Amino acid sequence: MNASNDDVIETRALSKRYGRKLALDNLDLRIPRGRVHAIVGANGAGKSTLFRILLGFMPPSAGEARILGKDSQQLTPQDRARIGFVNEEHTLPNWMRVAQVTAMQKHQYARWNQQAFDGVIGHYHVLPEQKVGQLSRGERAGFNLALALAQRPELLVLDEPTLGLDVVAKRAFLESLLYSNAADDCTVIYCSHQMEEIERVADNLIILERGQLKNMSAPEDFTARVSHWVADVPFKGPELHSVPGLLEVQRLDGLHHYLVLDQDAGFERFLRASGARNVQSMPVSLDRAVNAFLAKNHAAPAAA
Amino acid sequence: MIDLFKGELLRFRLWALVAAVINLVALGFMSRLVDLAQQPLVVYQVASMVYAVAGALLGLFQMGSYRKPNQWLNLLHRPLHRLRIAGALTAAGVVVLLVAVALPIALVAVYQESLTPRVVDMRHWLLPIAAWLIAVSGYLAGAYAMVGDRRYAFTGFLLPNLFMYSQASGVAMLGVHLFAIAFLVVLLAIAFKPDPAAPSRNPLAVLAVALPVQVGAYFLAWMLGYGVELGWTVSGTHPLGMPVPPKGGYIEADRAEGKDMLLLGIDASRSPEAALWREQVALSDVHTRYPLRNLPVRNTLTNPAPMEFDDGENSVRWVFSHDRMRFVGYGTLDKRARGELGVGETRAAFPAPTLQYAAGFLFNANAAYQYDAGQQRIFERIRLPRGEVMASPPEPAGDNVLVLSDRAAYFYPGREAVNGLDLLQPLLRVPMPGHVGNLSRVDAIELLDGYLVSFTYTWGVWSGELQQPFQQLVRVDDAGKVHEVARRAINIDLPSAYTNRNTWLSPVIRALCLGARNLFAANDPLKAKPERVPPSVLWLAAACCLLSLLAAIWVSGRQVHSTRGRWAWVVLCGVLGLPALASLWLLYPRREPLPVASPTLA
C-alpha cells in the first residue's frame, strides 16, 4: 500500500474479529492531513478497536492500517512522539503532582511546547503542587489535553475526551481545544457521542457502524442528506418497507413524521401517492440526523 | 526513563516503608526470642515463601494497574522504547523490595553481630541478598503473569519454585536465583510490548516463552497422575490403602518392623543357618538405621538443623561458625563470649560444618566427635576413610557402635566408645551392595559371631529414579569376612507406566528438569543418579512423541504460522512430546476466519 503524505490515517480492507463478532469489517478509510475529523458511531461500532490497531496495540485480523504514513504495527518511539492520544479515562499517575507529571512529559517529548501547555492549562484552576488524584474530572481532562498539545503532535487523537464531564467542564475543554494555537498545527481526530461538540469542532464527520464506514463528509453535508417530512396520511400510511431511505418514523398527533436519507422532492410525490393530504419538509439538526442514522440498524430482539 | 522510575518509586514509597517496618518488627521480635541465624531449613523456607509471595503481589498489582487497555496504551504510547519503560517500572519494584525485604534482614544481622554474642558468618550476610533475589523473582513472575498472555503467562511462577528443588547451596544458590531472575527478565521483556499477546517472531524468544509453558504442562500432567491414585483409593485397590500390603513389595518393605525385614531377607535364603537366624531375630534387638539425605555444606545459606549444642554443666551454648570452622561459645545466662572450640587440644579447625546428633556425638561429612564438658574440649572419635562421607552418624548397635558411610557400614567397639576419648578403629566393615542414595534402611542384629545386616534399596522407587529395588542380607563374621546370605528383588507395587510417567510424558523435559535441579550444584555423594527406565517406558514415550507430532500438524494448521515456523513446531512437538503440543495450543490462538466483504451504504 502506497502511503499518501496527505493522509494521516489510511486503512485498507481492515478487519478485526473477536471470536464470532466482527468489530471492523473491511474498513477502507483515508483521513487527510489537517482539520478536525470527528468519528462517531454507536457503542461497538469499532472506534476503539480502530484506534488500538492504528496505535499498534492490537493486530488486525486482515487488511492494513497506516498512521502518519507508517505501518501501525511497526511504530517506533519517534513515531509515537508525533501522535498524541487522550482517552476518556484521562489515565494519569494519581500519586504524582501536576508539576512532576509535567516535568516527566517535558523530558520525554523533545518538541515540548511550553506555551501550548500554559495556554491550555490556563483555562483551569490547576496548581503545580496539586496531586493528580486530587484534580476534578474536568481538571484532569484539561491537564491531559494540555500535556497532549504541548507534545506538539502531528496527529492528536481524542477518544471521547468529555465523557462524564459536566456542562461547564465540557465547555472549558472545548474552548481550550478550540482556542489553542497548538491544535491548529495538527490533525485532530475527535471521537465523541456528543453531537453538539461535533457540530462545534468538526470539519469532517466520519460515521462508523458495525465496523464499516457509513459516511465521510462535512457535518453540514451529512445533515443535508437527512430530511424530516411531516405528512397527514389517513389510516396507517405506506408500508414501512416501501418507504425509500427511511431512518425513523413516528406518529404524533395524527401526523406521520418521517426521517429519510438521501431523498429529494420525489419523496413528497411518494407520500402524496401513498395518500398524504398535506406534506411538509423541514431540516434536522446534526444530532437528530446522526442519531436516526445510527438507530436505524440498531439491534433489537427478533420479536420486536 | 529516569522520570518513570522516580515516579514509580514515588508511588510505592509509603508501601515500601510500611512493609519494611512490618518486616523489621517481625524479625526483631523473633530475634529477641531465638537466634535467627541458627534456625532449621523449614524456617528459612517459610520466610522465603513469604518474601516471594510479597514480591509476586507487588508485581501483580503494579503491572495489573497498567494492564487495563487505556492505562496500557497511556504507558506505552510515548517516545520511549518499550524496554526502557519496562526497565523503569521493574527497577522501581526491585528497589522497593530492597527496602522492604533486604534492608530489615540486614539490620537484624547488624543487631545480632553488634549487640549479641551470636555467630554471624559471611553466609548470614548473604541472607538479605538471597531474600531480596527471591522476592525479586516472585515480583518478576507476578509482573510477567500480569503483562503476558493470560492463557499461559502464569507459568512464570514455576521459575521461583525451582529454588525449592535446587541442589545448589551458598553462593551457588545465589547463582540459581540470578538464573531464574534472568529468565524472568527475558520473559517480561518479550511480553512487554503494545500487544503482549502477539507471538514473538524471534525463534529464541518463542522457545523462551514456550519452555515454562511446556514444563508447566508437564507438571500438570504429572500431577493429574495422582487422580489415578485417587481412583484406586476410592475403588479400594490402592496398595497403600490395603490393610495387608502386597507381598514382596515396596510398601511391605517400607512398613516392616526391623525383625520382619530381616525375616523377609532370611526367607529368600537357602542357607542351612536360616532357621537359626530366624530364632536369633526373634530373640535379638534389631538396630535400624535410615541414612541421611543431606549433609551440612560449608557456607550454605541455611541449616539442615540448628548448628549448635548446649553444655548445660557449664551453661554455655556452642554455635558452629562456618567462617572459623570452629564452635563459638557464649554463656546461656550472662550472654558473654566463652571462646572457641576446635578439634582436640589444639582446637584445630573442623574439616566440614559440624552438627550435633543423638547419642552425644557431633558429626560432619568426614568424622564424628564427642564433647567432654569437664575439659570443655571436643575429641575426634571416628574418622571415615578418605573419599567416604557420613551417611548415618554413630549410634549404639548392641555392644558396638554402628556408623554408615556412603559406601559401607562400620562397627566400632562400644566399650571404648563409652570409656575413652581416643580415636576409634573399626572392628568390621560391611561394603554396601548399592548406592546410598537409593538405600532406604539398614537393619542389623548381633550374632554370637558377628552381625546379620540387611540393606534395603527402595528410595526413589515411586519417582522413577530407582527401577530395580532390592534387599540384600549379609552376614559378617568376627573376622570381618562378609558373606552374602540372600538377595531378593522387591516389587514396585504400582504399574511401571504410572511410576515412570515423569519419563514417558517427555524424556527431554524430564532431563531439563533434572538439569535445572542440579544447576550450579556440587556433586552430592548421598544422591543417586536416576536409573535407566525400562524399554517399555521408552516405547511409550516414543508413541507419545509421535502422537504429539501428528497432532501438531493438525493444530498448527488451524493457527497462523510461517511455513518454517509451523514445521519447527511440529518437529519440537515430536521431540518434546505432549507438553510441547500443549504449549503450541496455548501460545497460538486459532486463526481468525477472514470476513467476507460486504457492501457499504456510504
- B228 and B82 belong to one structural domain: no
Q: Which of B73, B78, B595 sits opposite A22 (nearest CB)?
A: B595
- A228 vs chain B: nearest CA distance in angstroms? 20
* Model pLDDT for residues B528-554, shown as the tens digit of each residue: 999 999 999 999 999 999 999 999 999
pLDDT at A2: 44
Residue percentage of chain B with pLDDT more than 90: 87
**Intra-chain end-to-end CA distance of chain A, in Å:** 44
Most confident region among A89-98, B266-275, B322-331 by mean pLDDT: B322-331
| Cα A165 to Cα A86: distance, rounded to the nearest angstrom | 14
Of B78, B194, B592, the CB nearest to A108: B78
Answer with the one of A217, A247, A279 that is the final residue of a domain: A217
pLDDT value at B599 more than 50 = no
| Total structural domains within chain A | 2
Q: Do B79 and A109 count as a contact with CB atoms less than 8 A apart? A: yes
Mean pLDDT, residues B433-456 taken together: 95
Give the minimum alpha-carbon distance from B465 to chain A in angstroms, rounded to a whole number.
46
**How far is the alpha carbon of B13 from chain A, nearest alpha carbon, in Å?**
11
Residue B374 lies in a domain: no
Q: Is A168 found in the same domain as A277? A: no
Q: Is residue B58 part of a domain?
A: yes
Write down the pLDDT at residue B549: 97
Specify if A17 maps to a domain.
Answer: yes
Instruction: Verify that B63 and B188 share a domain, yes or no.
Output: yes
Q: Which of B7, B74, B77 sits opposite A104 (nearest CB)?
A: B7
Distances (CA, A) of B87 to A110, B15, B64, B601: 21, 20, 16, 48
- In this structure, is residue B515 part of a structural domain? yes
Partner residue opposite A26 with nearest CB, options B11, B80, B595:
B595
Judgement on whether residues B228 and B99 belong to the same structural domain of the protein: no
Indicate if B539 and B508 belong to the same structural domain.
yes
Residues A244 and A212 in one domain: no
Task: Say yes or no: B169 and B113 in one domain.
Answer: yes
Chain B residue whose CA is closest to A88 = B70
Q: Which residue has the higher pLDDT, B349 or A173?
A: B349
Interface-testing mutation among B1, B2, B3, with chain A (most A C-beta atoms within 10 A): B3
DSSP for chain A, please give it.
-PPPTTEEEEEEEEEEEETTEEEEEEEEEEEESSSEEEEE--TTSSHHHHHHHHTTSS--SEEEEEETTEEGGG--HHHHHTEEEE-TT----TTSBHHHHHHHHHHH-TT--HHHHHHHHTTS---TTSBGGGS-HHHHHHHHHHHHHHT--SEEEEESTTTT--HHHHHHHHHHHHT-HHHHTSEEEEE-S-HHHHHHH-SEEEEEETTEEEEEE-HHHHHHHEEEEEE--STT-S-GGGSTTEEEEEEETTEEEEEEES--THHHHHHHHTT-S-EEEE---HHHHHHHHHHHT----TT-
What are the chain A neighbours of B16 within 8 Å (beta carbons)? none
Query: How far is Cα B214 from Cα B208, in angstroms, rounded to an integer?
Result: 10
pLDDT given for residue A1 in this prediction: 44
Do A81 and A174 share a structural domain?
Answer: yes
Which of A191, A217, A243 finishes a domain? A217
Q: With 90 as the cut, is the pLDDT of residue A238 above it? A: no
Looking at the structure of chain B, the number of domains it has is: 2
Closest approach of A265 to chain B, Cα-based (Å) = 21
Gap from B6 CA to chain A (nearest CA, Å): 9
Contact B458, B250 (CB under 8 A): yes
The answer on B62 and B27 residing in a single domain is yes
Contact between B79 and A85 using a beta-carbon 8 Å cutoff: no
Distance from CA of A156 to the nearest CA of B (A): 12
Instruction: Please check whether residues B100 and B224 belong to one and the same domain.
Output: no
- The DSSP-derived string for B206-249 is HHHHHHHHHHHHHHHHHHHHHHHHHHHHHHT--GGG-SSPPTTB
User: How far does A89 lie from chain B, in Å, by closest CA?
Assistant: 7
Per-residue pLDDT at B46 = 96
Question: Cell 516392616 belongs to which residue?
Answer: B256
- Quick check: A85 and B77 CB within 8 A? yes
* Cβ neighbours of residue A73 closer than 8 Å, sequence gap 6 or more: A56, A59, A65
Cβ contact B37:B119 at 8 Å: yes
Could you tell me if A54 and A201 lie in one domain? yes
- The three grid cell numbers given for residue B27, joined into one nine-digit string: 524479625
Chain B contacts in chain A segment 206-225 (CB below 8 A): 212-216
pLDDT at B292 over 70: yes
Q: Is A108 within 8 Å of B80 when comparing Cβ atoms?
A: yes
Q: Residue B499 and residue B492: Cα distance in Å, rounded?
A: 9
Q: Which residues of A touch B76 (CB under 8 A)?
A: 57
Q: Is A18's pLDDT higher than 90? A: no
The residue segments making up the domain with residue B117 are 2-198
Pairs of CB atoms within 8 A across A/B: 92
> Closest residue of B to A206, CA-based?
B602
Same domain, B26 and B157: yes
CB B209 within 8 A of CB B190: yes
* Chain A interface mutation, best of B61, B74, B75, highest count of A Cβ atoms under 10 Å: B74
Residues A153 and A18 grouped into a single domain: yes
Which residues of B sit within 8 Å Cβ distance of A?
3-4, 7, 10-11, 69-74, 76-81, 194-195, 198, 592-595, 597-598, 600-602
Answer yes or no: do A80 and B79 touch at CB < 8 A. yes
Copy the grid coordinates of residue B295: 549433609
Let me know: does A223 contact A283? Beta carbons within 8 Å.
yes
Binary contact (A213, B195; C-beta < 8 A): no
Nearest CA in chain B to A215: B602
Q: Does A302 fall in a domain?
A: no
Nearest CA to CA, how far is B2 from chain A (Å)? 9
How close, in Å, is residue A1 to chain B by CA atoms? 19
Do β-strands B400-405 and B390-397 pair in parallel, antiparallel, or remain unpaired? Answer: antiparallel
Pair (B127, B227) in one structural domain = no
pLDDT, tens digit, 9 for 90 and up, residues B493-539: 999 999 999 999 999 999 999 999 999 999 999 999 999 999 999 99
- Asked, for residue A13, whether it belongs to a domain, the answer is yes
Contact A56 B594 (CB under 8 A): no
In this structure, the answer to whether residues A113 and A233 fall within a common structural domain is no
Q: Does A87 touch chain B (CB under 8 A)?
A: yes
Specify whether the CB–CB gap between B168 and B175 falls below 8 A: yes
Tell which of A26, A83, A111 to mutate to test the B interface (max B CBs under 10 Å): A26
Q: What is the pLDDT of residue B595?
A: 57
Which of A17, A71, A82, A91 to probe the B interface (max B CBs under 10 A)? A91
Specify the higher pLDDT residue, B486 or A6: B486
pLDDT exceeds cutoff 80 at A237:
no
Taking the C-alpha atoms of residue B20 and residue B16, their distance in angstroms, rounded to an integer, is: 6
Residues B224 and B181 in one domain: no
**CA-based nearest distance B133→chain A, Å:** 27
Length of chain B: 602
Q: Is residue A2 part of a domain?
A: no
Q: How far apart are CA B117 and CA B104, in angstroms?
A: 20
CATH number of the domain that A155 lies in?
3.40.50.300
ipTM of the complex: 0.87
State whether A258 and A149 are in the same domain: no
Which pTM value belongs to this model? 0.90
Flag whether B375 is in a domain: no
CB B98 within 8 A of CB B76: no
Q: Are residues A175 and A282 in the same domain?
A: no
User: Distance from first CA to last CA of chain B, Å, rounded?
Assistant: 46
Q: Is B480 domain-assigned?
A: no
Residues A160 and A272 in one domain: no
Is residue B299 within 8 Å of residue B123, measured between CB atoms? Answer: yes
**Do residues B146 and B227 share a domain?**
no
Residue B12 lies inside a defined structural domain of this protein = yes
**Closest approach of chain A CAs to the CA of B147, in angstroms?**
13
Task: Name the residue of chain A whose CA is nearest to B589's CA.
Answer: A19
- Mean pLDDT, chain A, rounded, equals 86
Chain A, nearest residue to B1 by Cα: A108
Q: How confident is the model at residue B602 (pLDDT cuts 50, 70, 90)?
A: very low
**pLDDT higher than threshold 80 for residue B1:** no
A303 within a domain of the structure (yes/no): no
CB contacts, 8 Å: B62 with chain A = none
For residues B323 and B577, what is the distance between their CA atoms, to the nearest angstrom? 48
C-alpha to C-alpha distance for B77 and A78, rounded to whole angstroms: 10
> Does residue B424 lie in a domain region?
no
Separation between Cα atoms, residue A102 and residue B7, nearest integer Å: 12
Mean pLDDT of chain B: 93
How far is the C-alpha of B545 from the C-alpha of B579, rounded, in Å? 10
Residue A195 placed within a domain: yes
| Domain closes at, from A156, A189, A217 | A217
Chain B residues closer than 8 Å to A104 by CB: 3-4, 7
Task: Determine, yes or no, domain membership for A1.
Answer: no
- A243: CATH: 3.30.70
Show the cell assigned to A26.
473491511
Check residue A3 and give its pLDDT. 44
**pLDDT for A29-78, tens place per residue?**
999 998 899 998 888 788 889 999 999 999 998 999 999 999 999 999 99
Residues B140 and B22 in one domain: yes
Element (H, E) at B451: strand B450-457
The residues facing A259 across adjacent strands are: A228, A248
| Residue B99 confidence class, pLDDT cut points 50, 70, 90 | very high
Domain enclosing residue A188, as ranges: 7-217
Q: Does A53 lie in the same domain as A77?
A: yes
| Residue B89's pLDDT band (cuts 50, 70, 90) | very high
User: In this structure, what are the phi and psi dihedrals at residue B38, rounded to the nearest 5 degrees?
Assistant: -125, 45
Closest partner residue to A61 among B11, B79, B594, by Cβ? B594
Q: What is the pLDDT of residues B194-215, one digit of tens each?
A: 999 888 889 999 999 999 999 9
Q: Which of B3, B73, B592 is nearest residue A55 as measured by Cβ atoms?
A: B73
Residues 6+ apart with CB under 8 A from A194: A162, A170
Is the pLDDT at B601 greater than 70? The verdict is no
pLDDT score at A294: 82
Residue B594 resides in a domain: no
Pair (A61, A207) in one structural domain: yes
How much is the average pLDDT of B302-329? 94
Quote the DSSP letter at residue B479.
T
CB contact under 8 A, A214 and B592: no
Residue B387 phi, psi (nearest 5):
95, -10
Distance, in Å, from the CA atom of B495 to the CA atom of B225, rounded to the nearest integer, reads: 12
